[in-house]
Amino acid sequence: MQHVQCATMSMATRFEVVIPGDQTPEIRAAAEEALRAVHETEALLSPYLPTSDIWRINHHAWQTPVHVSPITLGYLKTILDLNRITAGAFDINVGRLMQAYGFREELSSRMPEAPIKPTAHRALADLLIIDENGATVAVADQDVCLDLGAIGKGFALDSAAEALRALGVSTAFIHGGSSSATGLGAPPGEPGWKVAVAGTSGSGDNIADVYLNDCSLSVSTRLGRVATHEQEQVSHVIDPRTGRPISSADIAAAVCESAAFCDAATTALLVLGEEGPPMLHEARPAASTLVVSRTEGYRRIFHTGTAFTNWGPSWRGLLAS
Protein backbone atom coordinates (compact mmCIF):
# COMPACT_ATOMS: atom_id res chain seq x y z
CA MET A 1 0.00 0.00 0.00
CA GLN A 2 1.44 3.35 -1.03
CA HIS A 3 1.26 6.07 1.57
CA VAL A 4 2.46 9.53 2.53
CA GLN A 5 4.42 9.62 5.76
CA CYS A 6 5.57 12.72 7.66
CA ALA A 7 7.08 13.07 11.12
CA THR A 8 8.27 15.73 13.55
CA MET A 9 9.58 16.08 17.08
CA SER A 10 7.31 17.85 19.55
CA MET A 11 6.63 17.53 23.28
CA ALA A 12 9.83 15.46 23.49
CA THR A 13 8.04 12.87 21.33
CA ARG A 14 8.16 11.78 17.71
CA PHE A 15 4.78 12.46 16.09
CA GLU A 16 4.03 10.77 12.80
CA VAL A 17 1.22 11.01 10.24
CA VAL A 18 0.54 8.23 7.72
CA ILE A 19 -2.00 8.78 4.93
CA PRO A 20 -2.73 6.00 2.41
CA GLY A 21 -2.45 7.03 -1.21
CA ASP A 22 -0.09 8.45 -3.80
CA GLN A 23 2.56 11.03 -3.01
CA THR A 24 0.58 14.03 -4.23
CA PRO A 25 1.35 17.61 -3.14
CA GLU A 26 -2.14 17.91 -1.66
CA ILE A 27 -1.81 14.82 0.53
CA ARG A 28 1.66 15.77 1.71
CA ALA A 29 0.46 19.29 2.51
CA ALA A 30 -2.37 17.80 4.58
CA ALA A 31 0.08 15.67 6.55
CA GLU A 32 2.31 18.67 7.17
CA GLU A 33 -0.71 20.71 8.29
CA ALA A 34 -1.54 18.02 10.85
CA LEU A 35 1.99 18.22 12.23
CA ARG A 36 1.76 22.00 12.33
CA ALA A 37 -1.31 21.60 14.55
CA VAL A 38 0.79 19.46 16.89
CA HIS A 39 3.40 22.21 17.20
CA GLU A 40 0.69 24.82 17.79
CA THR A 41 -0.64 22.74 20.66
CA GLU A 42 2.81 22.53 22.23
CA ALA A 43 3.22 26.30 21.82
CA LEU A 44 0.10 26.82 23.92
CA LEU A 45 0.62 24.14 26.57
CA SER A 46 4.36 23.70 27.19
CA PRO A 47 5.37 24.60 30.76
CA TYR A 48 8.90 25.36 29.48
CA LEU A 49 8.19 27.97 26.77
CA PRO A 50 7.93 31.50 28.23
CA THR A 51 5.51 32.41 25.43
CA SER A 52 3.05 29.59 26.21
CA ASP A 53 -0.22 30.10 28.08
CA ILE A 54 0.66 27.44 30.66
CA TRP A 55 4.09 28.96 31.41
CA ARG A 56 2.48 32.36 31.95
CA ILE A 57 -0.23 30.86 34.18
CA ASN A 58 2.40 29.09 36.30
CA HIS A 59 4.49 32.22 36.70
CA HIS A 60 1.96 35.03 36.91
CA ALA A 61 -1.65 33.86 37.40
CA TRP A 62 -1.32 33.68 41.20
CA GLN A 63 -0.75 37.45 41.20
CA THR A 64 -3.03 38.63 38.40
CA PRO A 65 -5.34 37.01 35.82
CA VAL A 66 -3.52 35.95 32.66
CA HIS A 67 -5.01 36.38 29.19
CA VAL A 68 -4.92 33.12 27.25
CA SER A 69 -6.03 31.73 23.91
CA PRO A 70 -9.66 30.64 23.55
CA ILE A 71 -8.23 27.23 22.62
CA THR A 72 -6.42 27.03 25.98
CA LEU A 73 -9.64 28.02 27.76
CA GLY A 74 -11.39 25.12 26.03
CA TYR A 75 -8.60 22.74 27.02
CA LEU A 76 -8.78 23.83 30.66
CA LYS A 77 -12.56 23.39 30.73
CA THR A 78 -12.12 19.87 29.35
CA ILE A 79 -9.49 19.19 32.02
CA LEU A 80 -11.79 20.39 34.79
CA ASP A 81 -14.47 18.01 33.54
CA LEU A 82 -12.02 15.11 33.44
CA ASN A 83 -10.81 15.97 36.92
CA ARG A 84 -14.41 15.85 38.14
CA ILE A 85 -15.41 12.55 36.54
CA THR A 86 -12.24 10.83 37.80
CA ALA A 87 -12.85 12.08 41.37
CA GLY A 88 -9.54 13.94 41.30
CA ALA A 89 -7.43 10.99 40.11
CA PHE A 90 -6.53 13.01 37.00
CA ASP A 91 -5.15 16.41 37.93
CA ILE A 92 -2.79 18.81 36.18
CA ASN A 93 -1.76 20.59 39.40
CA VAL A 94 1.16 18.21 39.83
CA GLY A 95 4.04 20.34 38.52
CA ARG A 96 5.58 20.87 41.95
CA LEU A 97 5.38 17.15 42.75
CA MET A 98 6.81 16.08 39.38
CA GLN A 99 9.70 18.48 39.83
CA ALA A 100 10.33 17.41 43.40
CA TYR A 101 10.53 13.73 42.50
CA GLY A 102 12.95 14.51 39.67
CA PHE A 103 10.69 13.97 36.65
CA ARG A 104 10.65 17.55 35.39
CA GLU A 105 13.10 20.36 35.02
CA GLU A 106 12.19 23.45 36.99
CA LEU A 107 8.70 24.44 35.87
CA SER A 108 8.51 27.69 37.79
CA SER A 109 11.12 30.03 39.22
CA ARG A 110 8.86 30.46 42.23
CA MET A 111 9.60 26.96 43.52
CA PRO A 112 13.31 26.16 43.26
CA GLU A 113 13.28 23.64 46.10
CA ALA A 114 9.84 22.09 45.61
CA PRO A 115 9.65 20.19 48.92
CA ILE A 116 7.72 16.92 48.87
CA LYS A 117 4.94 16.79 51.39
CA PRO A 118 1.39 15.47 51.14
CA THR A 119 -1.14 18.26 51.50
CA ALA A 120 -4.87 18.34 51.95
CA HIS A 121 -6.28 17.69 48.51
CA ARG A 122 -8.09 20.63 46.96
CA ALA A 123 -10.34 20.22 43.96
CA LEU A 124 -8.86 21.62 40.76
CA ALA A 125 -12.06 23.60 40.22
CA ASP A 126 -11.28 25.51 43.43
CA LEU A 127 -7.77 26.39 42.24
CA LEU A 128 -8.40 27.42 38.62
CA ILE A 129 -10.43 30.57 38.11
CA ILE A 130 -11.55 30.82 34.49
CA ASP A 131 -13.19 33.94 33.12
CA GLU A 132 -14.56 33.04 29.70
CA ASN A 133 -15.83 36.55 29.00
CA GLY A 134 -12.48 38.12 29.71
CA ALA A 135 -10.50 35.13 28.35
CA THR A 136 -8.36 35.02 31.49
CA VAL A 137 -7.15 32.42 33.94
CA ALA A 138 -6.14 32.99 37.55
CA VAL A 139 -5.09 30.56 40.24
CA ALA A 140 -6.11 30.67 43.87
CA ASP A 141 -2.82 29.56 45.38
CA GLN A 142 0.77 30.52 44.63
CA ASP A 143 1.80 26.86 44.93
CA VAL A 144 -0.31 25.86 41.92
CA CYS A 145 1.93 24.63 39.10
CA LEU A 146 0.22 23.14 36.07
CA ASP A 147 1.76 20.25 34.15
CA LEU A 148 -0.17 18.91 31.14
CA GLY A 149 2.23 16.06 30.43
CA ALA A 150 -0.52 13.49 31.00
CA ILE A 151 -2.88 14.99 28.43
CA GLY A 152 -0.92 17.29 26.12
CA LYS A 153 -0.24 14.61 23.49
CA GLY A 154 -3.94 13.78 23.45
CA PHE A 155 -4.88 17.39 22.71
CA ALA A 156 -2.20 17.45 19.99
CA LEU A 157 -3.55 14.30 18.32
CA ASP A 158 -7.13 15.59 18.46
CA SER A 159 -5.98 18.86 16.88
CA ALA A 160 -4.05 17.00 14.16
CA ALA A 161 -7.05 14.80 13.37
CA GLU A 162 -9.29 17.87 13.15
CA ALA A 163 -6.84 19.49 10.74
CA LEU A 164 -6.86 16.42 8.48
CA ARG A 165 -10.64 16.18 8.44
CA ALA A 166 -10.90 19.90 7.60
CA LEU A 167 -8.75 19.22 4.54
CA GLY A 168 -10.92 16.30 3.43
CA VAL A 169 -8.66 13.49 4.66
CA SER A 170 -10.85 10.69 6.04
CA THR A 171 -8.26 7.89 6.30
CA ALA A 172 -5.03 8.36 8.26
CA PHE A 173 -3.03 7.14 11.22
CA ILE A 174 -1.40 9.55 13.68
CA HIS A 175 0.68 8.64 16.67
CA GLY A 176 2.66 10.42 19.36
CA GLY A 177 5.32 7.91 20.31
CA SER A 178 4.35 4.49 21.60
CA SER A 179 1.69 5.68 24.04
CA SER A 180 -0.92 7.61 22.02
CA ALA A 181 -2.47 7.00 18.60
CA THR A 182 -5.47 8.06 16.53
CA GLY A 183 -6.95 6.25 13.54
CA LEU A 184 -9.14 8.04 10.99
CA GLY A 185 -11.22 5.62 8.98
CA ALA A 186 -9.54 2.31 8.11
CA PRO A 187 -6.87 1.09 5.68
CA PRO A 188 -8.26 -0.63 2.56
CA GLY A 189 -9.80 -3.99 3.41
CA GLU A 190 -9.30 -3.60 7.18
CA PRO A 191 -11.78 -2.85 9.99
CA GLY A 192 -9.40 -0.23 11.36
CA TRP A 193 -5.80 0.57 12.09
CA LYS A 194 -4.51 -2.37 14.11
CA VAL A 195 -2.50 -1.45 17.21
CA ALA A 196 -1.23 -3.77 19.94
CA VAL A 197 -1.34 -2.98 23.64
CA ALA A 198 2.10 -4.13 24.74
CA GLY A 199 2.80 -5.91 28.00
CA THR A 200 5.73 -5.23 30.30
CA SER A 201 8.17 -7.96 29.31
CA GLY A 202 9.12 -6.58 25.90
CA SER A 203 8.97 -10.09 24.46
CA GLY A 204 6.13 -9.41 22.04
CA ASP A 205 3.54 -10.99 24.34
CA ASN A 206 0.91 -8.29 23.86
CA ILE A 207 -2.02 -7.86 26.20
CA ALA A 208 -4.57 -7.30 23.43
CA ASP A 209 -5.16 -5.76 20.01
CA VAL A 210 -7.24 -2.70 19.11
CA TYR A 211 -8.63 -1.61 15.75
CA LEU A 212 -8.81 2.17 15.56
CA ASN A 213 -11.51 3.49 13.24
CA ASP A 214 -12.31 7.14 13.98
CA CYS A 215 -11.11 6.67 17.53
CA SER A 216 -7.97 6.89 19.65
CA LEU A 217 -5.91 4.72 21.96
CA SER A 218 -3.74 5.70 24.90
CA VAL A 219 -1.53 3.35 26.93
CA SER A 220 0.20 4.30 30.18
CA THR A 221 2.45 2.37 32.50
CA ARG A 222 3.90 3.30 35.85
CA LEU A 223 7.06 1.47 34.80
CA GLY A 224 7.76 3.72 31.82
CA ARG A 225 9.83 6.23 33.76
CA VAL A 226 11.28 5.91 37.23
CA ALA A 227 13.47 8.06 39.45
CA THR A 228 15.40 7.40 42.63
CA HIS A 229 14.00 9.13 45.69
CA GLU A 230 15.38 8.38 49.15
CA GLN A 231 17.16 5.31 47.70
CA GLU A 232 13.90 3.93 46.31
CA GLN A 233 12.73 3.63 42.70
CA VAL A 234 9.51 5.61 42.30
CA SER A 235 7.03 5.87 39.41
CA HIS A 236 6.47 9.03 37.39
CA VAL A 237 2.71 8.63 37.89
CA ILE A 238 1.71 10.63 40.97
CA ASP A 239 -1.52 10.20 42.89
CA PRO A 240 -2.59 13.86 43.14
CA ARG A 241 -4.80 13.07 46.11
CA THR A 242 -1.87 11.95 48.27
CA GLY A 243 1.14 13.50 46.58
CA ARG A 244 2.87 10.11 46.34
CA PRO A 245 3.89 7.92 43.38
CA ILE A 246 1.56 5.01 42.67
CA SER A 247 2.55 1.38 43.17
CA SER A 248 -0.54 -0.82 42.78
CA ALA A 249 -1.25 -0.67 39.02
CA ASP A 250 1.14 -1.53 36.18
CA ILE A 251 -0.55 -0.74 32.85
CA ALA A 252 -3.67 1.11 31.72
CA ALA A 253 -5.26 1.60 28.31
CA ALA A 254 -8.29 3.45 26.98
CA VAL A 255 -10.05 3.69 23.62
CA CYS A 256 -12.65 6.29 22.61
CA GLU A 257 -13.23 9.05 20.09
CA SER A 258 -11.09 11.62 21.95
CA ALA A 259 -7.34 11.19 22.35
CA ALA A 260 -7.36 13.73 25.17
CA PHE A 261 -9.93 11.71 27.10
CA CYS A 262 -7.88 8.56 26.54
CA ASP A 263 -4.70 10.18 27.84
CA ALA A 264 -6.42 11.47 30.97
CA ALA A 265 -8.26 8.18 31.46
CA THR A 266 -5.12 6.06 31.46
CA THR A 267 -3.45 8.25 34.06
CA ALA A 268 -6.58 8.10 36.22
CA LEU A 269 -6.81 4.32 35.77
CA LEU A 270 -3.27 3.84 37.07
CA VAL A 271 -4.18 5.89 40.13
CA LEU A 272 -7.60 4.29 40.72
CA GLY A 273 -6.71 0.67 39.95
CA GLU A 274 -9.64 -1.74 39.69
CA GLU A 275 -12.13 0.98 40.68
CA GLY A 276 -11.26 2.93 37.55
CA PRO A 277 -12.93 1.04 34.67
CA PRO A 278 -16.48 1.12 36.11
CA MET A 279 -16.06 4.78 37.12
CA LEU A 280 -15.00 5.81 33.61
CA HIS A 281 -17.63 3.57 32.00
CA GLU A 282 -20.31 5.43 33.91
CA ALA A 283 -18.95 8.77 32.70
CA ARG A 284 -18.25 7.68 29.09
CA PRO A 285 -20.18 4.45 28.27
CA ALA A 286 -18.79 4.29 24.72
CA ALA A 287 -15.18 4.15 25.92
CA SER A 288 -13.25 0.91 26.45
CA THR A 289 -10.77 0.78 29.32
CA LEU A 290 -8.44 -1.67 31.00
CA VAL A 291 -6.07 -1.60 33.94
CA VAL A 292 -3.60 -4.22 35.10
CA SER A 293 -3.88 -3.93 38.86
CA ARG A 294 -1.54 -5.48 41.40
CA THR A 295 -2.75 -6.60 44.84
CA GLU A 296 -0.50 -8.52 47.23
CA GLY A 297 1.77 -9.41 44.34
CA TYR A 298 -1.01 -10.80 42.11
CA ARG A 299 -2.01 -9.08 38.87
CA ARG A 300 -5.54 -8.91 37.46
CA ILE A 301 -6.97 -7.20 34.39
CA PHE A 302 -10.12 -5.16 34.95
CA HIS A 303 -11.76 -3.84 31.79
CA THR A 304 -14.88 -2.41 30.19
CA GLY A 305 -16.07 -2.08 26.60
CA THR A 306 -15.47 -4.12 23.46
CA ALA A 307 -12.48 -2.45 21.78
CA PHE A 308 -9.88 -4.87 23.14
CA THR A 309 -9.63 -8.12 21.15
CA ASN A 310 -7.29 -11.08 20.69
CA TRP A 311 -6.11 -11.20 24.30
CA GLY A 312 -2.55 -12.44 24.64
CA PRO A 313 -2.13 -16.05 25.85
CA SER A 314 -0.31 -15.14 29.05
CA TRP A 315 -2.83 -12.40 29.88
CA ARG A 316 -6.18 -14.19 29.37
CA GLY A 317 -5.96 -15.89 32.72
CA LEU A 318 -5.67 -12.50 34.44
CA LEU A 319 -9.04 -11.22 33.17
CA ALA A 320 -11.38 -10.40 36.04
CA SER A 321 -14.89 -11.74 35.56
- Predicted pLDDT of residue 202: 63
Rounded CA separation 259/156 (Å): 8
Q: Tell me the mean pLDDT per 10 residues along the chain, length 321.
A: 92 97 93 98 96 97 97 98 96 86 61 46 90 96 92 98 98 96 96 93 83 97 60 68 83 97 97 96 97 88 97 93 71
User: Could you tell me where the beta strands, DSSP code E, fall in 72-190?
Assistant: 128-131, 136-139, 172-176, 180-184
- Predicted pLDDT of residue 28: 96
**93 and 124 Cβ atoms separated by less than 8 Å:** yes
Rounded CA separation 3/267 (Å): 33
What is the torsional sign of CA 59, 65, 69, 71? positive
- Predicted pLDDT of residue 112: 42
Q: Which domains does the chain have, with CATH numbers?
A: 1-47+151-182 (no CATH), 53-139 (1.10.3980), 191-316 (3.10.520.10)
Burial 10-39 (b: 16+ CB within 10 A, else e): bbebebbbbbbeeeeeebeebbebbbebbb
- Predicted pLDDT of residue 258: 98
